[in-house]
Structure 1
């Protein structure tokens, strides 16, 4: 990760054009889709639809250019004045691979992803995938190799980790190696909450409950378990970039802290020391987050909880396309609007969230060929 600071003015004191960086942008490249086409059970491609879990066998995502085509990604970026995108595979990543083949496939995927990003200089970078179903030695070997790839800016992992959650002790050496390599972990939900929590009438509500609540609540639970495990005290330089403004963690941090202060088992175990690391400490020292919350009120809460220097713009493209079609995506502009209405388009906070934080933290954008003219978001 880059250590340099980012100035919001040039040497003459004039405000710089805003470099817009999208830290949450998915792509399912053709080489990944080819892997899924070779399979006969979820995750796989059936009838030209990406089915990523058995319960979705009758649905899945249609395999269209917005899912895999680089030129379509760049067109979206240009239409919405995005200079740089940090790409990541969406779930299920490579978590489904057999133990014996996971390492080789991950290496090949990361190499090809690096070449793909290099084909569009200055515009695309990526979060690498890990062979989490492989033995730890294979995972650590791939982490050691990643800094040699010019366009890697971290790794992507799901809330389930290797299957038992992020507080699984088996992940500790993996986290330590990633921290030592200065590779941040982009944390993305797996599948949300169990379907039973939505009740018998869930089918009447479409995907509203799972999408709006399932993913962020899964993330909140996963990160809270991670904090309670003490991993950030054990590895102080471990850093996460957490999807969807860290779920509901900025809102629930106080409630979690109160539960810790009043938990008898926690007290009996001697963990409730005056100098213990709090949820607030982790939010302000170890966690960055994207600002995909679609409204200024939760965005301001995320900024208040973690600091304006720890929140970054994201779109979640290619998901949430306009229902009525067209190139203009309201889901994208609502996230930009949250920043501009919450802090003002000419503010330092706007510049930091829309791009300067990502430029500083991920080492992208500054001094490289980006989208001409910077952000031009008037009218949205």
Structure 2
């Protein structure tokens, strides 16, 4: 087996809870006026604090515990799990962070990676509005700090990535030909129907968000304009494999309907789904064997990357590799998913 790469390991600054200025920068970036609420509180029964994000108030969507992001513990967990290399991403927060806070994050992430002795890599985080300052920060991350790509989220506020406001930044990434990770956000834009129940809100909500984003990107034509852009969507693109043939169907010329109800003439959408859209698993055990095998059959092993969402659930991390190895798929697909695709896409 070649190098095993976890393409979805979360990272937050280790001093986030102890550095008041940094913590205030994170908290101040969250748009309270749009119903997103944050607080720091003690974890019951433990001498640890957690950062909680609610949207709307009273509905928890994110929890980050103190002490989960230390180099020593992550390296030890990687060795125990059999992971050779980690690709770090900032979980969700990049939806809100301003440029100055992003610079602090990128500097800390670069120092953390430097201390890992080649076992970790990082992705640049900047506000996605295409300003000169943000583009210079991407250049600094790639050329000075040695980062392997960029990271964004599926939507910012009320707008998904197909919106023209993001085009200057995405064109810049396209011209650089760098891989871009698209992380899910706490909730999709239209979230009220999934609020009441925790698993539907915190799990299914992320899937709605990702599948919506993938579909909008494909149907918008943005990849015709930006053919070098490569997006890696988390959560298997919200199980996009389940909808791929329905949303991007092969055209059946021999059958004629009285009314053409759907856009069956999909043009080159299939090519874009193969060349521009990729998916990370975000915790293999949570999907189940049948679902993962179906994803590989529909999407193809070349377009799926292993990822654990560490440290969200320890079983996803410590049982993830054996879950992939136990699938009834080809050995080549296993090798591609567990590391080959990441090595190629991130130039490891």
Pair 1:96 & 2:90 matched: no
Question: RMSD of the TM alignment (CA)?
Answer: 3.0
Pair 1:302 & 2:295 matched: yes
Match 2:220 to one of 211, 229, 233:
229
d(CA) in 2 for partners of 1:246, 1:62: 23
d(CA) in 2 for partners of 1:57, 1:198: 14
Measured at CA, do residues 273 and 113 of structure 1 come closer, stay the same or move farther in structure 2, by a change above 3 Å? same
Q: Summarize the alignment of residues 196-211 of structure 1 with structure 2, pairs less than 5 Å apart.
A: 196-198=192-194, 202-203=196-197, 207-211=198-202
CA contact (8 A) 1:245 1:299 kept: no
Q: TM-score, normalised by structure 1?
A: 0.75
Q: Which residue of 2 aligns with 1:3?
A: none
Pair 1:285 & 2:279 matched: no
d(CA) in 1 for partners of 2:131, 2:219: 23
**Which structure has the higher relative contact order (CA within 8 Å, separation 6+)?**
1
Measured at CA, do residues 18 and 135 of structure 1 come closer, stay the same or move farther in structure 2, by a change above 3 Å? closer
CA contact (8 A) 1:27 1:88 kept: yes
Measured at CA, do residues 69 and 255 of structure 1 come closer, stay the same or move farther in structure 2, by a change above 3 Å? same
Matched position secondary structure for 1:156: strand
d(CA) in 1 for partners of 2:92, 2:209: 14
Measured at CA, do residues 54 and 289 of structure 1 come closer, stay the same or move farther in structure 2, by a change above 3 Å? closer
Match 1:311 to one of 294, 297, 304:
304
d(CA) in 2 for partners of 1:339, 1:112: 32
Match 1:29 to one of 10, 13, 33:
13
CA contact (8 A) 1:160 1:166 kept: yes
Match 1:331 to one of 295, 308, 316:
316
CA contact (8 A) 1:240 1:287 kept: yes
Pair 1:249 & 2:240 matched: yes
Q: TM-score, normalised by structure 2?
A: 0.81
Cα distance per residue 1:168-190 (max 9 Å; x no partner): 10111211111221221111111
Q: Summarize the alignment of residues 1-380 of structure 1 with structure 2, pairs less than 5 Å apart.
A: 17-33=1-17, 34=19, 35-37=22-24, 39=27, 44-47=38-41, 48-55=49-56, 61=63, 63-66=65-68, 68-93=69-94, 95-97=95-97, 102-132=98-128, 136-161=131-156, 163-193=158-188, 194-198=190-194, 202-203=196-197, 207-257=198-248, 276-278=267-269, 280-292=270-282, 293-294=284-285, 295-320=288-313, 329-343=314-328, 347-364=331-348
Matched position secondary structure for 1:338: helix
d(CA) in 2 for partners of 1:19, 1:178: 27
C-alpha displacement at 1:333, in angstroms?
4.5
C-alpha displacement at 1:144, in angstroms?
2.9
Matched position secondary structure for 2:326: helix
Unpaired stretches in structure 1, ≥5 consecutive residues: 1-16, 321-328, 365-380
C-alpha displacement at 1:52, in angstroms?
2.9
C-alpha displacement at 1:343, in angstroms?
3.7
The structure with the greater share of residues assigned to strand is 2
